[in-house]
């Protein structure tokens, strides 16, 4: 992910209320709230990632983040524009 899409994703993950981890390929999972960790995954549009979360609200958090990742965040206008 580039910096702006990664920032959008990390901020959304932080709002979920449950710890979420994200991984890509053979890389170990990183906290979805870690900007550096998410950037280090090297994921780009079309990369298959795995999201993991446990606890109350985990399913809803994973659904929300998966829906966010399904969008082309590079093509969207910034919310503050």
Which CATH number is 3-70 given? 3.30.1340.10
Q: What angle do CA 49, 34, 18 make, to 5 degrees?
A: 75
pLDDT digits (tens, 9 = 90+) for 13-37: 999 999 999 999 898 999 999 999 9
pLDDT digits (tens, 9 = 90+) for 59-77: 999 999 999 998 877 776 6
Measure the CA–CA gap between 71 and 27, rounded to whole angstroms: 23
Q: Which residues are catalytic?
A: 2
pTM for the model: 0.85
58, 59, 60, 63 alpha-carbon torsion, rounded to 10°: 120
3-state secondary structure 8-52: HHHHHHHCCCCCEEEEECCCCCEECCCHHHHHHCCCCCCCCEEEE
Q: In the chain, where are the structural domains located?
A: 3-70
């Amino acid at each position: 992910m580039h910096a702006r899409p990664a920032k959008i994703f990390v901020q959304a993950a932080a709002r979920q209320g449950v710890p979420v981890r994200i991984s890509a390929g053979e890389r170990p999972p990183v906290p979805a709230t870690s900007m550096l960790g998410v950037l280090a995954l090297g994921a780009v549009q079309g990369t298959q990632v795995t999201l993991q979360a446990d606890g109350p609200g985990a399913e809803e958090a994973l659904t929300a983040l998966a829906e966010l990742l399904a969008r082309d965040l590079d093509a969207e206008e910034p919310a503050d524009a």
